[in-house]
Amino acid sequence: MLQAISLSKTYGDHCALDGLNLTVNAGEVYCLLGQNGAGKTTTINLFLGFIEPTSGEILIDSQALSPQDPHRREHLAYIPEVVMLYGNLTAIENLDYFSKLAGFQYNKTELITLLTNCGLQTSAHNKQLGSFSKGMRQKVGIAIAVAKEAKIILMDEPTSGLDPKATAEFSELVKKLAKEGRSILMATHDIFNAVGIATHIGIMKQGKLIHTLKAAEISAADLQMLYLQTI
């Protein structure tokens, strides 16, 4: 579903990403670990088309799509560290607005169902997002991704700043999305959460993917040790 082939990005003499080969299939959750500057966010920005690669290729649903290709936006959704939505609009209004931007029309009952299925409590549906916690904003962001029928969801540090309860709720939601057949690529510093939700884990250093692991084959303690040895 999502693939990088010898993907590189340089800025002058600085190599931000060096020959990345990575595949995220349908139903998989791939967590990228690494220090700041390791290349995680650069990888996500390349997939999103925010920046263009210096060399290499990106395949989305087995197609090589340019950053300007509208089909790229149809396949992808993005959940940043801080979900930027309209604080003066309610959860339902935000979902309705961004769904329409993506070409989808839902009635009020369908919008409520989308928000509820993404874990947002009913009492919050008609409240302005300006009063929402980060975790609540993320649920609205994920509801938008589901509403636009995105096959691939890219996430950048989504659990940063969440309390344990919100992190657990978010993790369960990610697992649910994967079970529905979506491909999820997540950049994170949260080693223990990565082991709990990922199917695959990559460790990056200085723009290179150093290790690729199956999450089921490594414990959180062993992953932490490998991570510390790598960085």
pLDDT for res 62: 84
pLDDT for res 72: 74
Nearest to 22 by CA among 197, 175, 188, 184: 184
Helix (H, G, I), strand (E, B) or coil at 70: helix
Measured CA to CA, the distance from residue 28 to residue 2 in angstroms comes to: 10
Ordered DSSP codes for 129-151: GGG--HHHHHHHHHHHHHHTT-S
The total number of structural domains in the chain stands at 1
| Percent share of the chain, pLDDT over 70 | 100
pTM comes to: 0.91
Task: Dump strand ranges (E) for the chain.
Answer: 2-11, 14-24, 29-33, 55-60, 63-64, 76-79, 152-156, 183-187, 200-205, 208-214
Buried b / exposed e across 189-217, counting CB within 10 Å, b at 16+? ebbebbbbbbbbbbbbbebebbbebebee
- CATH number of domain containing 113: 3.40.50.300
Measured CA to CA, the distance from residue 175 to residue 185 in angstroms comes to: 12
Nearest to 147 by CA among 192, 98, 91, 199: 98
The sheet with strand 183-187 has its strands ordered as 76-79, 152-156, 183-187, 29-33, 200-205, 208-214
Reported residue count of the chain is 231
Q: Are 189 and 216 in contact (CB under 8 A)?
A: no
pLDDT for res 163: 86
Greatest C-alpha distance within the chain: 54
Question: Other CB atoms closer than 10 Å to residue 112's CB: what's the count?
Answer: 18
What would the pLDDT profile of 130-186 be if each residue is shown by its tens digit?
999 989 999 999 999 999 999 999 999 988 888 888 889 889 999 999 999 999 999
List CB contacts of 73: < 8 A, sequence separation 6 or more. none
What would the pLDDT profile of 39-93 be if each residue is shown by its tens digit?
999 999 999 999 999 999 999 988 887 777 777 778 899 998 888 899 999 999 9
Measured CA to CA, the distance from residue 30 to residue 27 in angstroms comes to: 10
Measured CA to CA, the distance from residue 180 to residue 106 in angstroms comes to: 20
What would the pLDDT profile of 83-137 be if each residue is shown by its tens digit?
889 999 999 999 999 999 999 999 999 999 999 999 999 999 999 999 999 899 9
Look up the domain containing 129 and give its range: 2-230
